[in-house]
Amino acid sequence: MQLNYTASLLSDKRIERAVVALGSISVAVALVKTARALLKSKSGDISLPIIPYKYPFVGSTFEYYTDPLKLAKFYTEKWGPTFRMHLHGDLITVVGAKDAPEVFSHSQLSFLASNNRFFDSALFNGSGEFTLPGTAITNALVKHLTPNLNYYSPRAFQQFLQEIDNKALEDEFTLPDLGPFFRRFVAKYSASAFVGTRMCQDENLISAFEHAVADIGTEFRPGPLQVIFPRLNSIYTNYFFPKSGSIKKHRALIKTSLSAEIAKRISEESQEDYVYDKNEKKDVLDYLLKTYPHELNDDHLETLTTLILILIFVGVHTTSEALTYAMYCLVKHPEYISELRDEQTRVLLEDGITDQEQDVVYTPAMYRQMIKLDSFIRECMRTRMVGFGLPHTNVSKEDIILKSGATVKPGHEIFINLFQVHHDKDNQPEFQDLETFDGFRFVNKDKLAVKAGQDYLAFGMGRHACPGRWFATHQIKGIMSFFIKNYDISAKSEIGIANTTTEHHKGQPRGAVQFTKIK
């Protein structure tokens, strides 16, 4: 989780509380371990330059989080894509596009291990034995959801339209922040595919889909000591994390809803007139129940609850953030709206739909024809990549030497230089002015918004590429298309976006936006 301002971190009262709660012994242990790691790192490969820093242990951590773009751009232009820096109490390696495929494919470089330094995925687990294989979610997305998007995407969009009707939007309204507004839509859209349309009417469940990440993130947001010494997170999560807090609350909501829904399905399928159809498509939940049959005991309910909670984090949260960012880009660059609206009108007419029809249900076939919208979304995602990310930890007991010569010692992390990947002319040879926003840059270039590669890592790469990116992109395209078609959209305040075209803004996009119904 990124922290925005150095001053707020250094003055945060949680420093005092953390020291008191964890005790001086725990802090001392973390300091000793970190010191040992730093000393060991000096005996390894010293061919790479290191970003200079003032304070031991702190290193460049606060400087980086104060302005990721500024630091990444300065040192990339100075040294190229590969160098080292002291981040999170350790000496990390930063590599560029040429090393990215090897990092993502290396069996001993673990993305999960790096993520667990700040938020251990085990925290999602409930009580009891886990009853499903670790690949269950990936299999559900890859083998069931994605191949059936011609069914799931239009059905999910109908849930979005239902939510629009429920909101009874006025002909003109202004939103001070787009995030909460769009998060509700994505929650309903995603839930229809994950747990079915009937459960979309369960307000308690939709509330969990909508608010779980924000609630849990607020409780877990790491303080300054935990940012500098991620090893302290394991102590916090094991002993001080509020176990009766948000995770427990949202798990209870999800589990109660799942239990009631599964009972209804069992009852329906026990009726004499029920005919099993192996090709019937209901939702991801049905796929899990049918693919991995198991006694419906408490352990299995806890396991299904865990999977739904994970889907909320990796699906609803990331998609709503990407959608919000793309909509703010549209408001920031209103010159693209008319062309995107014209493209949509043409696509709809080819499908026999007139411009006067408001409740259009968009389909994957329509999305494939909206090449300008696809390009716009990819450009939004590209310009958003401004710092270092997608960390992997060397989980082996030996040095890992990449083809470029960069060395990653056991237990140390390697980060991808996302700024270089997405803004370096050598890695993007087809394009000019990479630090400007060009919404139609990728039109007819075979560079789709979902196409992961060495020049585009918005959805990861290789075995860690997001398996649900097609469904996520359909959500973004569908919701954007609705508002482009039916509303004039304009800024009512300064729009702040953190990317290479607006260097002054840090953190999440923000600004007031006005929507005016087109009549």
What length is written for the chain?
519
Q: What is the pLDDT of residue 27?
A: 38
Q: How confident is the model at residue 176 (pLDDT cuts 50, 70, 90)?
A: very high
Backbone angles phi, psi at 388, to 5 degrees: -115, 140
- CATH code, 6-517: 1.10.630.10
Q: List pLDDT tens digits, range 139-164.
A: 999 999 999 999 999 999 999 999 99
Which residue type is seen at 436?
Answer: T
- Mean pLDDT over residues 193-221, rounded? 87
Does 35 score more than 70 pLDDT? no
What integer is the mean pLDDT of 189-200? 95
329 is in an annotated binding site: no
Is residue 361 over pLDDT 50?
yes
- What is the share, in percent, of the chain residues with pLDDT greater than 70? 85
**pLDDT, greater one: 501 or 401:** 401
Q: Give residue 500's pLDDT.
A: 74
| Average per-residue pLDDT for the chain | 86
Q: Give me the pLDDT at residue 126, please.
A: 72
Confidence of residue 313 (pLDDT cuts 50, 70, 90): confident
Q: List the single range of 44-58, 117-131, 499-513 with lowest mean pLDDT.
A: 117-131
Higher pLDDT, 164 or 26: 164
Mean pLDDT, residues 156-183:
95
pLDDT grade for 408, boundaries at 50, 70 and 90: very high
Give the integer Cα–Cα distance in Å for 450 and 317: 18
| Cβ partners under 8 Å of residue 132, min gap 6 | 288, 292, 294, 303, 304, 307
**What is the pLDDT confidence band of residue 272, given thresholds at 50, 70 and 90?**
confident
| pLDDT value for 507 | 78
Beta strands, E only, 146-244:
172-175
Centroid of chain to Cα 4:
18
Between the alpha carbon of residue 155 and those of residues 152, 160, 283, 309, 447, the distances in Å are 5, 9, 11, 22, 27
The pLDDT assigned to 4 comes to 36
Kindly state the average pLDDT of the residues 20-43: 41
**Mean pLDDT within 464-480:** 95
Whole-number Å distance between alpha carbons of 422 and 409? 27
Residue 377, pLDDT score:
98
Does 185 score more than 60 pLDDT?
Answer: yes
> What is the pLDDT averaged over residues 298-309?
93
For 108, which DSSP code?
Answer: T
Long-range CB pairs of 246-249 (<8 Å, 24+ gap) are: 246/212, 246/215, 246/216, 246/218, 246/219, 247/123, 247/124, 247/216, 247/309, 249/215
Kindly state the average pLDDT of the residues 89-106: 95
DSSP codes, 283-316: -HHHHHHHHS----SHHHHHHHHHHHHHHIIIII
Rounded Cα distance between 247 and 215, Å, is 8
Say whether pLDDT at 508 is over 50.
yes
Domain ranges in the chain are: 6-517
Give mean pLDDT, residues 99-110: 95
Helix 371-384 / helix 337-350 crossing angle, nearest 10 deg: 140
CB 408 within 8 A of CB 44: no
* Rounded CA separation 319/183 (Å): 8
Rounded mean pLDDT, 192-215 = 92
**121: confidence class by pLDDT, cuts 50, 70, 90:** low
**Cβ atoms within 10 Å, residue 299:** 16
Could you tell me the pLDDT band of residue 239, with boundaries at 50, 70 and 90?
Answer: low
3-state DSSP helix/strand/coil % of the chain, to nearest 5: 55, 10, 35
Q: What is the DSSP letter of 492?
A: S
Q: What is the pLDDT of residues 490-499, one digit of tens each?
A: 999 999 988 8
The pLDDT, as a whole number, for residue 34 is 44
Higher pLDDT, 39 or 407: 407
Going by pLDDT thresholds of 50, 70 and 90, the confidence category of residue 31 is: very low
Write out the two tokens for 385: 């990549």
Q: What is the pLDDT of residue 241?
A: 57
Instruction: Report whether pLDDT(13) > 60.
Output: no
Please state, in angstroms and rounded to a whole number, the distance separating the CA atoms of residues 503 and 494: 14
As a whole number of Å, the end-to-end CA separation of the chain is: 42
pLDDT at 225 over 80: no
Q: Cα dist. 295→131, 306, 309 in Å? A: 10, 17, 21
* pLDDT exceeds 90 at position 243: no
> What's the whole-model pTM score?
0.89
Residue pLDDT, tens place only, 473-488: 999 999 999 999 999 9
Amino acid (one-letter) located at 286 = D
